[in-house]
C-alpha cells in the first residue's frame, strides 16, 4: 500500500502510494486516491479505506485539502478530522498545505506530477503536507510555508526535515515561454534550474527550485529526503497527468502517533 515509506522517526508514519493494488477501473487503475475525477467515488473511498486500515488510523481522522495551486496553508486539529475523506465537498478548499501539532491526525495531499512535500519539526511536534506544481513554485509556497514555521512556530531550520515524493522531473517537464517568464520573476536565481532546448521549449527543474528555497532558509541538505522518482517515467508504478491526461492520483501522507 505504501509505495515509498519515509522512515524519519519511530513516531511518524509517512510516505507515498503508487498506482497498483486498488479497486478503481481503467483509466484510473487501480489505486486512484482522488474523488474529483470521473472515477467511481465508491472505488476511491475503498482505496482510501484500504490505506487507512493499513496504517491503523480510520478515515475520520484524515484531513484532505482541496488543492488549487495556491500559496495558502492552514493549521488543523482533530475538529477537522474526516474533512474531504469521503466526499470532495467537505475538503478544506483553497489550501495547498496543511499542518498540525496533534497526534493521530493524518494529513494527505494528492498528486500526479506535482511535488508532494512532507515535513516535520520534531522539537515542536509539528508535521505538514504540502503540494506544489509549477504555479505553487512560482508563488513560492514552500518558501512561505517554511518561513511561517520558522518565524511563527519558532522552528529551528536545522530541526526541520523534508520528504520529496514521486513527481515529474526536469528531463520530462518541458515548458514554454509564458511559464518561463513567470519563473524568472521569482526572488531566487532560477537560471540553474532551466535548460533551454530551443526558442520555444525549456526543461524546468521544479524539484531543484523547491530544494533551493529550503536551503536558503537554512535547512541542511542531510535533512532533505528526495525519492528521485519521476512519475512520468514509471507508468507501471505511478499516475502521471502529463503522460496520460485522464488518470488517477497518488497520495502522500503523514501522521504522528
Domain assignments of the chain as residue spans, ordered by start: 4-167+220-256
Q: Give pTM, 2 decimals.
A: 0.97
Residue 200 has pLDDT above 90, yes or no: no
10 Å CB burial of residue 151 (0-12, 13-18, 19+) is: exposed
Q: What backbone torsions phi and psi does residue 166 show, to the nearest 5 degrees?
A: -60, 135
Grid coordinates in use for 90? 467537505
Using one digit for the tens of pLDDT, what is the confidence trace for 224-240?
999 999 999 998 999 99
- Cell 508504478 identifies what position? 237
Alpha helices (H) along the chain: 41-55, 134-138, 141-151, 177-183, 206-216
Using one digit for the tens of pLDDT, what is the confidence trace for 124-179?
999 999 999 999 999 999 999 999 999 999 999 999 999 999 999 999 999 998 99
Question: Quick one: fold of 4-167+220-256?
Answer: 3.60.140
Using one digit for the tens of pLDDT, what is the confidence trace for 136-151?
999 999 999 999 999 9
CB atoms < 10 A from the CB of 162, how many? 22
Q: Are strands 12-16 and 65-66 parallel, antiparallel or unpaired?
A: unpaired
Residue 199 has pLDDT above 90, yes or no: no
25 DSSP assignment: P
Amino acid at each position: 500500500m505504501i509505495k515509498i515509506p519515509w522512515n524519519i522517526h519511530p513516531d511518524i508514519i509517512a510516505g507515498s502510494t503508487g498506482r497498483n493494488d486498488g479497486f478503481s477501473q481503467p483509466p484510473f487503475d487501480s489505486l486512484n486516491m482522488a474523488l474529483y475525477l470521473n472515477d467511481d467515488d465508491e472505488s476511491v473511498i475503498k482505496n482510501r479505506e484500504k490505506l487507512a486500515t493499513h496504517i491503523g488510523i480510520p478515515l475520520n481522522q484524515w484531513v484532505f485539502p482541496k488543492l488549487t495551486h495556491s500559496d495558502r496553508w492552514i493549521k488543523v486539529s482533530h475538529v477537522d478530522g474526516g474533512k474531504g475523506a469521503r466526499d470532495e465537498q467537505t475538503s478544506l478548499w483553497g489550501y495547498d498545505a496543511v499542518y498540525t501539532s496533534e497526534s493521530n491526525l493524518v494529513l494527505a495531499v494528492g498528486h500526479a506530477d506535482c511535488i508532494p512535500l512532507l515535513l516535520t519539526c520534531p522539537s515542536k511536534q509539528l508535521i505538514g503536507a504540502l503540494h506544489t506544481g509549477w504555479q505553487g513554485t512560482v508563488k513560492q509556497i514552500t518558501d512561505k510555508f517554511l518561513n511561517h514555521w520558522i518565524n511563527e512556530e519558532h522552528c529551528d531550520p536545522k530541526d526541520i526535515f523534508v520528504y520529496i515524493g514521486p513527481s515529474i522531473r526536469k528531463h520530462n517537464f518541458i515548458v514554454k515561454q509564458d511559464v518561463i517568464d513567470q519563473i524568472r520573476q521569482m526572488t531566487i536565481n532560477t537560471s540553474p534550474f532551466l535548460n533551454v532546448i530551443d526558442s520555444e521549449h525549456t526543461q524546468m527543474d521544479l524539484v531543484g527550485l523547491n530544494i533551493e528555497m529550503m536551503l536558503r532558509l537554512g535547512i541542511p541538505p542531510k535533512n532533505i529526503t528526495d525519492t528521485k522518482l519521476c512519475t512520468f517515467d514509471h507508468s507501471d508504478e505511478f499516475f502521471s497527468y502529463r503522460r496520460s491526461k485522464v488518470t488517477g492520483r497518488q497520495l502522500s501522507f503523514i501522521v504522528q502517533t
